[in-house]
Chain A
Amino acid sequence: MTDLPAPATASRTGQPFARLRAALTAPPEPAKRVQFDRPLLPWLFLLPQLLVICVFFYWPSVQAITSSFYLEDPFGFGATFVGFDNYTDALRASEYRHIAAFTAFFTAVVTVAALGLGLLLAVKADTVIRARGPYRTALISVYAIAPPVAGLIGMMLFDQHIGPFVKLAAMLGWEMKVGIDYWDTAFAMILVSVWKQVPYNFIFFLSGLQAVPASVREAALIDCRNGWRRFRTVTLPLLAPTAFFLLIINITYALFDTFAVIDVMVKDKPANNPMTLVYKVYNDGFRGNDIGGSSAQSVILMLVVLVLTLAQFRWLERRVHYG
C-alpha cells in the first residue's frame, strides 16, 4: 500500500470507511480511568438488551423501510417492487398535504401554549414563598395521567349533552359541536393536549429556575428594579438551554404522544375530523390495509424525528462544552 501512491479519488472515497471502521473497532474513549478487561463478560451483560433491540427494534425498522418500496397485494399474494412510488403517492396526495399542514399547525399551537403556560406557572411558583409545595404538587400531578384518560375526560367536558364547555360556549354564542365540526374538534384536541403537557414543562422550568444561584438573583435584583426586564435579560437567557430541550420534547410530544388523545376524541370516525400524521400512518396501515403507503409515511416521520433528535444531540454537545 505504501509504495504505490493511491489515486486521489480512491483515497478520498476510501477514507470515510476506513475512518468509520477505525471508529467502530477502536477502544472507545474510556468512560472510566480504570476498566475491567474481560473478553466475554461485557457481552453477557449486553446480551439481553441487544436481543430485545434486534428483535423488536431493528427487525421492524428494516421491514418498515423495505416494505415502503413495495406494493403489497391486498389479498396477501406477494408484493411488487415499486421504487419510490409509495413516497411520491403519499406526498402528492392532497389529503396527505392537508393532514401534514394540520399536523404542523397543531404541533405549533400545542408546543407554544404548553411551553408558555409551563413557564408562566414555574416563574410564579418560583417567586412565591408561601404554599410553594402545595402549588407544585397540584401542578405536577396531571403529568401522570395517560393521554387516553385525558382524552376521555376532555370528551366528557365537551359532550353535546352534559359538557360544561359546550354550555359555556353557547352562552357566548358559539355553537360547539366537538366530534362533528372540524375546527371545534381541533380546538378540544389542542386544549386537552396542552393540559396534559403543561406539568412536564412546569417541572423542568421550575428546576431550571431553582438552579439559578442566589448570588445571581440578588445581583440582578440590585441592578434592575423592573421585574419584567429582569426576567427578559437575566432569567430567560439562563433558562434558554432548558427551553430548547423542552422545545424538542414538546414537538415530539405533539407529533407522537397525542395519538391517544386524537384516537379517543375522534372516536373511530376520522372522516371529517382533524388528525395528525401519526394517526394517518395507523389508519392507513391497520384500517386501510395499505401497508406500503403506511410504511412510506412511517419512514417520512422517521426522518422528521431523526432531524429533531440530531438537533437535540447538538444541543447536548454544546451544553457539555459550555457547561
Chain B
Amino acid sequence: MTRIRPLDHLILILGCLFMLAPVAVAIMTSTHTAADIHVNGLSLAPGGHGIETYQTVLTKRGGFTGQVTGATMAMNSLILGLGFAIGKIVLSMLAAYALVYFRFRFATAMFWVIFTTLLLPLEVRIMPSYQVMSELHLLNTYTGLILPLLASATGTFYFRQFFKAVPDELLEAARIDGAGPVKFFIDILLPLSKTMMAAIFIIMFVYGWNQYLWPMLMTTEERFFTLMRGIKQILQVWVGSQIPDYNQAFALAVLALLPPVLVVVVFQRWFIKGLTESDK
C-alpha cells in the first residue's frame, strides 16, 4: 500500500498544472509590457515591468476607468468582504442563539421564515431587489452593497448546527451557577465558537470579496467600484482599442484573486473544516 505509484502522481501533477497554470500565466504576463504581450503572447517567465504596471493600476487615475484607482477598488472590495463576513457572523449567531437556546411562541414559524431564504439565490430575484434598493435610496451606498447580501440564512444554518452539538450539560451547569442568557452567550458560547467563527469568516470573506452581479448593479458611481466591477470595466474599454492594455488587465485580475486565494491557502485547515462540517 505504501508503494509509490507513478501514475497517481502523474495524474495529480497534471491536475495541478490544469488548475494552477492559468493563474501562473496571469501573474507572469502581468509583468510584461502591453506591446510585448501583443507581439509575443502570454508568458510563463517574469518580464521585469511588473512594478510600473502595478503602480499604474493601483495609483493612476484614468487607467481603465475614468476616475477610480486600483487601490480604491481594492479598498471597496475589502470593505465589502469584511462588512459582509462580520455582518453575517453577527446576524446569524444571534439568530441561531435565539432559535436553539430559547423556548418561545412561534419559534418554529420563525425557523421557517428564516430558512426559506435558503431556497432562492439573489440571482433569481435580482430585478425586484434592485427596485427595492432604489425605492429605499440605497443605490451607491455601502449599506446597499452589503445589507441585501446578508439576507440569506447560510450562516444561521451553520451556527444552528454547531450550537445544537454543544453539550447540554454546559447550559445546565451555567444555570445552576446563576448565569443568565446574555452572560451564558458571552462567557461560554462565544469562546466555544471561536474556530467555527473563524471558518465561517473565511468562507464569507471570500464570498463577499468575490461578489459580482450585485455590486455591478448597485454601483454606478466609480468611487464605490469593487475590483470585480473594475474587471467588467476593463472589458468595456477594450472593445475597439488598438492594443489593449493586457498587462494592466492581468494586473487587476491578480489584485482581485490574490487576497482570497491567500486567505484560503493560509487558513486551509479552518476553511476546509468549516466548509465540510457545516454543510452536513
Chain A residues proximal to chain B, CB less than 8 Å: 23-28, 30-39, 41-43, 45-46, 48-50, 52-53, 55-57, 59-61, 63-64, 67, 117, 120-121, 124-125, 127-131, 135-149, 152-157, 161-164, 167, 195, 198-199, 203-204, 207, 221, 245, 252, 256, 259-260, 263-264, 267-268, 278, 281-282, 285-286, 291, 294-295, 298, 301-302, 305-306, 309, 319
Q: A128-B8, A203-B272, A203-B275 are in contact. Are A281 and B209 (CB under 8 A)?
A: no
**B100: chain A residues within 8 A (beta carbon):** 31-32
Give the shortest distance, in Å, between A49 (CB) and chain B (any CB).
Answer: 4
Contact of A124 among B11, B132, B265 (CB under 8 A): B11
B223-260 contacts to A, CB under 8 A, are 228, 231-232, 234-236, 238-239, 246, 249-250, 253, 256-257, 260
Judging by beta carbons under 8 Å apart, are A128 and B9 in contact? yes
B194: Cβ under 8 A from any A Cβ? no
Of all chain A residues, which has the CB nearest B123?
Answer: A256
Looking at the assembled complex, report how far the CB atom of B144 sits from the nearest CB atom of chain A, in whole angstroms.
10
Closest to A304 in B: B124
| CB of B186 within 8 Å of the partner chain | no
A189 to B209, CA, bound (A): 22
Q: Do residues B105 and A25 form an inter-chain contact, with CB atoms below 8 A?
A: yes
Bound-complex Cα distance A59 to B12 (A): 48
Contact A42 B253 (CB under 8 A): no
When the two chains form their complex, are residues A245 and B128 in contact, meaning their CB atoms are under 8 A apart? no
> Which of A50, A61, A127, A144 meets B128, CB within 8 Å?
A61
B124 touches A305 (CB 8 A): yes
Knowing that A34-B171, A56-B151, A61-B125 are A-B contacts, what are 8 other residue pairs whose CB atoms are under 8 Å apart, sorted by A's residue number? A34-B172, A36-B102, A50-B114, A56-B129, A148-B232, A204-B276, A268-B235, A302-B119
**Which residue on chain A has the smallest CB distance to residue B174?**
A34
When chains A and B are docked, how far (Å) is the Cα of A267 from the Cα of B238? 10
Are A135 and B148 interface neighbours, CB within 8 A? no
Interface segment, one of B17-25, B45-53, B54-62, B65-73: B17-25
A285 to B108, CA, bound (A): 36
Q: Tell me whether B268 is interfacial, beta carbon within 8 Å.
A: yes
Contacts of A148 in B (CB 8 A): 212, 228, 231-232, 256
Contact B95 A286 (CB under 8 A): no
Is A203 within 8 A of B276, CB to CB? yes
Would you list 17 pairs from A and B whose C-beta atoms are within 8 A, ordered by A residue? A32-B171, A34-B175, A42-B102, A46-B95, A50-B113, A52-B150, A61-B125, A63-B131, A142-B19, A144-B206, A144-B261, A146-B256, A148-B212, A149-B231, A256-B124, A260-B213, A301-B124
Q: In chain B, residues 144-180, which have Cβ atoms closer than 8 Å to a Cβ of chain A?
A: 147-148, 150-153, 156, 160, 163-164, 168, 171-172, 175
Please, which residues of chain B bring their CB within 8 A of the CB of A63? Answer: 128, 131-132
Within the complex, which residue of A43, A285, A302 is in contact with B104, where a contact is CB–CB below 8 Å?
Answer: A43
Choose among A33, A221, A259 the residue that contacts B1 (Cβ–Cβ < 8 A).
A221
Q: What separation, in Å, do the CA atoms of A48 and B268 have in the docked complex?
A: 31
Residue numbers in A under 8 Å from B239 (CB-CB): 267-268
Q: Is the CB of B217 within 8 A of A286?
A: yes
| Contact between chains at A56 and B20 (CB < 8 Å) | no
Verify if B197 is at the interface (C-beta below 8 Å from A).
no
Interchain CA distance A163-B42 in the complex, whole Å:
7
Q: Is the CB of B260 within 8 A of A144?
A: yes
Q: Within the complex, which residue of B12, B23, B104 is in contact with A42, where a contact is CB–CB below 8 Å? A: B104
A39 touches B104 (CB 8 A): yes
Complex CA gap A60/B152 in Å reads: 13
Tell me which residues across on chain A come within 8 A of B175, comparing CB atoms.
34
- Asked whether, in the complex, the Cβ of A145 is within 8 Å of the Cβ of B127, the reply is no
Inside 8 A of B212's CB, which chain A residues have their CB? Answer: 146-148, 259-260, 263
B85 / chain A contacts, CB cutoff of 8 Å: none
- In the complex, the answer to whether A37 meets B209 with C-beta atoms within 8 Å is no
Q: Does B210 contact A (CB under 8 A)?
A: yes
Give, as a whole number of angstroms, the nearest-CB distance from B166 to chain A.
9
Q: What is the bound-complex CA distance between A65 and B272, given in angstroms?
A: 38
Partner of B8, one of A41, A124, A291, A309: A124
Q: A152 and B94 in contact (CB under 8 A), knowing A24-B108, A141-B261, A143-B264?
A: no
Task: For the complex, give the distance between the alpha carbons of A59 and B120 in Å.
Answer: 13
> What 0/1 pattern do residues 109 to 121 of B give for CB contact below 8 A with A?
1111110011111
Nearest-neighbour CB distance to chain A for B176, whole angstroms, equals 10
CB distance from B4 to the nearest CB of A (A): 7
A309 B118 Cβ-Cβ under 8 A:
yes
Contact across chains for B236 and A259 when beta carbons are under 8 A apart: no
Check B97 for interface membership: any CB of A closer than 8 A. yes
Given known contacts A124-B12, A152-B234, A162-B37, A31 and B276 CB-to-CB distance under 8 angstroms: no
Which residues from B are CB-within-8-Å of A61? 120, 125, 128
Please give, as numbers and ranges, the residues of chain B lying within 8 Å of A221 by CB-CB distance. 1
How far apart are the CA atoms of A127 and B11 in the complex, in Å?
12
Answer whether A162 and B123 are a contact pair too, CB < 8 Å, given A138-B20, A146-B209, A264-B235. Answer: no
Closest to B7 in A: A124
- Of B8, B109, B125, B150, the residue contacting A60 (CB under 8 A) is B125
B11-51 vs A: 1/0 string, CB under 8 Å? 11001101110110110010000000110011000000000
> For residue A39, which residues in chain B have a CB less than 8 angstroms away from its CB?
104
Nearest to A312 among chain B residues (CB) is B118
Q: How far is the CB of A124 from chain B (nearest CB, A)?
A: 5
Separation of A232 and B128 alpha carbons in the complex (Å) = 48
Within the assembled complex, what's the spacing in Å between the Cα atoms of A59 and B98? 24
In whole angstroms, how far apart are the Cα atoms of A245 and B275 in the complex?
Answer: 13
